[in-house]
Structure 1
């Protein structure tokens, strides 16, 4: 018996020593709640993450594979180095205009079988982890192609997912997919396979332990964008590079980098509630501006005829109506959409821009990104895809006084396409033009990296409400998801807030809107983008209630602070945003029954505020209400309805 006991103790000691040897580094957040461990076992690197002592990510693989050498196996731990970082920065285009970022840092170095070095840099702030790889020169090799990553995320088996599938390349309208315009499934089980993986960001609910949001940031012309994919192991998701079919098959699916070279940042946001998910600034904390702004750029609200009046409105007379509408609403811009080159022409466009200027309205013009990435026929075409033509066009745009461009129909996530995004942005800055991307990929830190960047669609947006009854039926469901997933990592040019009861020019007969006016007004706060095209129509000046028009005249698109109040993805969402000293609290309800909530609103404690809400019949009303001195307020949100409180 004594020998058996000694043997048992020896085995325990051996296991403990083996475990200690396997773990090579650890780092915690400044508040100590978030902890990351790095391991080196059997020639492979991995990491795990706990939050407040609870496992959020089990041991997950690290590493990458290049055309020159494999950094996913036969790795030997060399050393690690710890430090910390602290910085303050300002950016009026994101959810919080003034940010203070503090993180503890860890660099872990490995050597592979070819005696080449791989560094992994981690930054761990309160509720956030960002990490990236650095590859050093390989003997006489000063360039390489990163072909794939081993990077993975292994979740506890009780986890459920909120994911949007990557679209099949070269499908959809005029073969323009993928364009990040799929829907979501809420609380789905782990490991559901799709043909092309899932887009970033991805949200995961780790049972009672909390929430995990995965994304990436810092992608520019020096790398490809990536996405998530399932693996043969149900609980493990992996970073995946673009499908070779994207961009009409042109360009590599990997990333060609100069050595020493760094990958983009992989980001992980973790919390025991959804507050850190909604309020995170990690996509912007770890990136820096790539160039100086050529001027101070203007952002704000815009009218947009195409969303309901469609192609037929691309004529001089209809555009003057929407310039006049913008002027009456005190909006900064009008977006003139596709086909203006054919239906209005450059000479008359010059006149139209001058007319808009006389009304104190700036003009944003639509352009096709093509090129050869897809078959989208609308013009102007072949102006943005070629350096010489692009600069000629932008020179003309600056001369006639255009303020910005909305560039549409990109070809995927390859490095070749990332280079096109950056070239457009960089050239546009030379000519003082803001840029919005449509039919596009997720923005990855671009609000900070590119000073003239003004948002991206990358979502199942308002145009599909016009075209699809199914999307109209799910409008509230998706709206209750976006503040937690898509819009929390980057600006989202949605183009919504309709006051028409029917989503048509005539405002009758078809495309009946299935959400209330209160819901529509609430999305103007819930959805954040520095330039937002709203769906207010000329007829709304006479057929919409005055209080709704007053709200849409005053609504800002730049926010100084964003605060999570309440919600559950796909069911309901309530958030607060501050512009200067004015607070807007907005919520929507995607469930089939009304929802009664007791809100904690310390920012409005003891104040008299305006309430916009819906009654039980779905009619939207306004009245003055008082918030208790404790900052609590009870509210009922109707199905497919919404509310706003503002001081």
Structure 2
């Protein structure tokens, strides 16, 4: 009898405490993900070309129906492949082929409830998510927290932006992903109480680079961010309970069977895979069909420089005329239009714009009860009844899109509002831009009428903050490697006024060059760009700069990393049709001479927009060698653009 009891204990011990390892390689066999189950604890690690990117990092989650982070038993593992092609004109590349190997590990917790972890590994990207089974008669659960983590080697440095304190900032609208970045910082210094926003960039010594983020967040989940660095690990963290003035759950309520969003890790020896990744879109699918074909392009908007006082009929006419003179597709009419212009006069203003070949975006406040944002139109987007009634009018008068502002939270409650606005807007043929907002997480593909989000320390802060003006070039050099690498970024830039106000004669002086500003039109990617030009620029800006701005596209067929280091300088190439644009900015205080490798432009004569030593922008022709090489000097806080 004692023998049988002892044998049973040994068998149980074998099941619970055995080591289980499963490995999966990328199609090119350079990227390896290893899943391990050790003493009931699930972990994963990542190697690239034999070098450690992530050490054993925790997996799992905790629900109201059980714990899936410990006391886990292995059930089975299956492997497969994904091979698909798709078209997406709103992102950095229009035609994408996605190939990945898959590993699905099915596990069981101590209560004999099953879940699975699905890994998809392409040549430079790892994506994984949790898949929950139906547990008996249980058809719903609350995921309270994830234990998913990222353990980098000790040599790693970080490039991170802090999560904003909830219910802080203007009208208690934070968090809105509008903090600055600290670059090349030690992990030990990453002690922000609120954690850090996605995406996060990491340099793993001489091993390479990693960009971590999430994608596929919709109304069925909350958005997440990174914790502070603790006990050697960053973990996936759910929203602070104080967001939305304390209303709404901080976890996620999902139906069973159900899935979580994807966690993504993009790796490379250089920054090339980081800049060029399409993983946020590779693993998601459209949630509905477009009600019509949406048109992307460029626009003007008065508020960014002329501010609230410009919200009158006469000034909006001037900006419509500016858009028409620049051959732009749109004008954005910002806050207070309902009170200061009115619905009736807005209809005539839209007719005027349309007669000039310009279509209209209108601004709306998203708020109803989440924060103290007070600008109008208010209480038009936060409920289905008011929203549909408003959108019916918008469609009738010919409005083409909306900019919806002031969300300030990542709870599932807010994710539902994003999705409801997008879905209803599609029914009425309206495109949507979000401001005061969270990071877009695969939304360009998921929502056909979605055309961009702010979620960055954007152009408005250049107007309001001397510190941001001084750091403009610094932040610009970061965005292609971090924020804009994973989603469209509606920055609202290209400020050609010398002073960032209506008079353009004194006050907030712009500290970057005109060539820098032209470069950001290419460097920052968003399918609808509301540029910060002003009517006076038609007379006080050189014609060659205006000609460039009349021609620059906003949608791209291909994006290439050329050179750069985040926080110092960046050089990016984008192709529209057969035409390449190469754009660069220099964040440093000294001129930088670089030798570019441009194989796609070898032997060609290009137009160059650059700055001289006096920081004056000029246009000239340059020849790329037959080897595809070109040496260029970028002035401090300057930039350049090359094109045909």
Give 2:439's aligned residue. 442
Number of residue pairs the alignment of both structures matches: 629
Write the distance in 2 (CA, Å) between the matches of 1:48 and 1:118: 20
On the 8 A contact 2:18/2:39 being kept in 1, the answer is no
From 198, 220, 232, the equivalent of 1:222 is 220
| Matched residue, 1:198 | 196
1:539 is displaced (CA, Å) by: 0.3
- Contact preservation (8 Å) 1:353, 1:363: yes
1:590 aligns with 2:590: no
Whole-angstrom distance in 2 between the partners of 1:24 and 1:33: 19
Residue 205 of structure 2: aligned partner: 207
Answer whether contact 1:225 1:418 (CA < 8 A) is retained: yes
Which residue pairs with 2:572 in the alignment? 575
Partner in structure 1 of residue 524 of structure 2? 527
Checking the alignment, whether the CA contact within 8 Å between 2:20 and 2:74 is kept in structure 1 is no
The answer to whether the 8 A contact 1:303-1:535 is kept is yes
Aligned to 1:247: 244
Query: Within the alignment, does 1:541 sit opposite 2:574 as a pair?
Result: no
2:294 counterpart SS class: coil
Contact 1:248 1:411 in 2 (8 A): no
Aligned to 2:168: 171
State yes or no: 1:405 paired with 2:402. Answer: yes
Q: Distance in 2 between matches of 1:481 and 1:72?
A: 35
Q: Is residue 605 from structure 1 mapped to residue 602 from structure 2 by the alignment?
A: yes
> Which SS does the other structure have where 2:107 is aligned?
strand
2-side partners of 1:631 and 1:324: how far apart?
A: 42
> 1:125 aligned to 2:122?
yes
> Hey, what does 1:364 align to over in structure 2?
361
CA RMSD of aligned residues (A): 1.1
Instruction: Compute the displacement of 1:144 (Å).
Output: 0.2
Shift of 1:231: 4.7
Instruction: Output the CA distance in 1 between the equivalents of 2:560 and 2:40.
Output: 44
Measured in 1, the distance between the counterparts of 2:321 and 2:635 equals 35
3-state SS of 1:537 partner = coil
CA distance in 2, matches of 1:84, 1:377: 51
User: Partners of 1:67 and 1:577 in 2: how far apart?
Assistant: 47
The normalised TM-score by structure 1 is: 0.96
Q: What is the Cα deviation at residue 21 of structure 1?
A: 5.7
Q: Which runs of 5+ in 2 are unaligned?
A: 1-13
Counterpart for residue 276 of structure 2: 279
Task: Note if contact 1:306-1:337 (Cα within 8 Å) is conserved in structure 2.
Answer: yes
CA separation in 2, counterparts of 1:411 and 1:95?
27
Contact kept? 1:23, 1:37, Cα under 8 Å: no
User: Using the alignment, how far apart are the partners of 2:400 and 2:381 within structure 1?
Assistant: 16
Which whole-Å CA distance do the structure 1 matches of 2:51 and 2:37 have between them?
Answer: 22
Counterpart of 2:480 in structure 1 is: 483
User: Once the 2 structures are TM-superposed, how far is the Cα of residue 139 of structure 1 from its aligned partner?
Assistant: 2.0
SS at match of 1:477: helix
Would the alpha carbon gap of residues 115 and 231 (structure 1) be closer, same or farther in structure 2, given more than 3 Å must change?
Answer: farther
Q: Which residue of 1 aligns with 2:506?
A: 509
Report the CA distance between 1:92 and its aligned residue.
Answer: 0.4
Instruction: Please report how far the alpha carbon of residue 135 of structure 1 lies from its aligned counterpart in structure 2 after TM superposition.
Output: 1.0
Aligned residue number for residue 9 of structure 1:
none
**Unmatched tracts of structure 1, length 5 or more:** 1-16
CA–CA distance in structure 2, aligned partners of residues 24 and 563 of structure 1: 37
Q: In 2, distance between residues paired with 1:21 and 1:625?
A: 65
44, 47, 61: which is aligned to 1:47? 44
- Counterparts of 2:579 and 2:325, CA distance in 1: 22
Query: Is structure 2 residue 294 aligned with structure 1 residue 297?
Result: yes
2:492 to 492, 495, 499: 495
What pairs with 1:79-90 in structure 2 (closer than 5 Å)?
79-90=76-87
**Whole-angstrom distance in 2 between the partners of 1:542 and 1:411:** 39
Residue 265, structure 1, aligned to residue 287, structure 2: no
Map 1:327-342; keep pairs closer than 5 Å. Answer: 327-342=324-339
TM-fit CA distance, 1:23: 4.0
For residue 5 of structure 2, what is the aligned residue in structure 1? none
| TM-score computed with the length of structure 2 as normaliser | 0.97
Preserved CA contact (<8 Å) 2:187 2:229: no
Range 272-281 or range 23-32, more displaced = 23-32
